[in-house]
Amino acid sequence: MKCLMKNLIILFALLFLSLVFLGRTIYRSYTEDPKVHKQEEVNLNQDKGNKNFEILEVSSEKKKQMEESLGYEIAEVKHIRFLDKDDYTKEEVNNREDYTIENISEVKNVLEFSGRDLYQSMCKNEKEEDTEIKIGEKILKNDYMVDLPMDPKIISNSLGFDVEKKIKIDLDLDIKVEGKTFASLSLFPEINHYDFGIHKNGRGVSKGTAKKVVGAYLIVRK
């Protein structure tokens, strides 16, 4: 009888230890797994943060409007939109003439057809498959125009962006060129356009313009 009781006590002890170990294992799995998922989410966000543009599809209606403006058919078009973080900080400037920027007007998302860059890429594409077009590194620039000798920082502080900023992108895209042995591509900047007046001592003395590059359209001619 004593032997039986002893065996039962040992059995219950082993069962209790097994349950404790299993409980700790389950608890550890529930507490550690979320840490792994959280780290993956952070890495994904970091990858996204390192990218300064995204590629958007263009609607058929928008494509047709662009064909009418350009005067030729488009085989492929990609909308490149910059991921602007609006992190401009006003800078101190020596404004001896006490110029102020007034009467600012803004027109957003204007397609700039003038001054376009044209690329021709040789490719073997007899089966009408997508082919990789490597344009490589391209620099697009904000700009401004005034007829007075003034520090551009005065304009930047008033408009809220650096009017001399250069934006660098690296374009390697898979584009369909419909079986041709070469592809003609054009890169058209997309800008926000600004008109403004330049005042001194409360009186308008001149006018100026500026542009902020917010994206671009990469167009393959049919």
Structure tokens at 184: 């003609």
Across the range 1-24, mean pLDDT stands at 52
Across the range 199-218, mean pLDDT stands at 93
Does 94 or 172 have the greater pLDDT score?
94
SS3 98: coil
Query: What sign does the CA torsion over 20, 24, 30, 31 have?
Result: positive
Residues 6+ apart with CB under 8 A from 153: 91, 93
SS3 7: helix
When mean pLDDT is compared across 32-41, 55-64, 112-121, 150-159, the lowest value belongs to: 32-41
Q: What percent of the chain has pLDDT over 90?
A: 33
Indicate whether 35 pLDDT > 90: no
Query: What per-residue confidence (pLDDT) applies to 87?
Result: 76
Q: Are 163 and 155 in contact (CB under 8 A)?
A: yes
DSSP 9-22: HHHHHHHHHHHHHH
Indicate whether 117 pLDDT > 80: no
Task: Measure Cα distances from 215 to 18, 63, 147 in Å.
Answer: 62, 16, 27
pLDDT in tens, 122-143: 665 555 555 666 677 888 999 9
Q: How far out from the chain centre does Cα 185 lie?
A: 21
Query: Which residue's structure tokens are 């167009």?
Result: 219
Does 51 or 26 have the greater pLDDT score?
51
pTM above 0.85, yes or no: no
Query: What per-residue confidence (pLDDT) applies to 125?
Result: 54
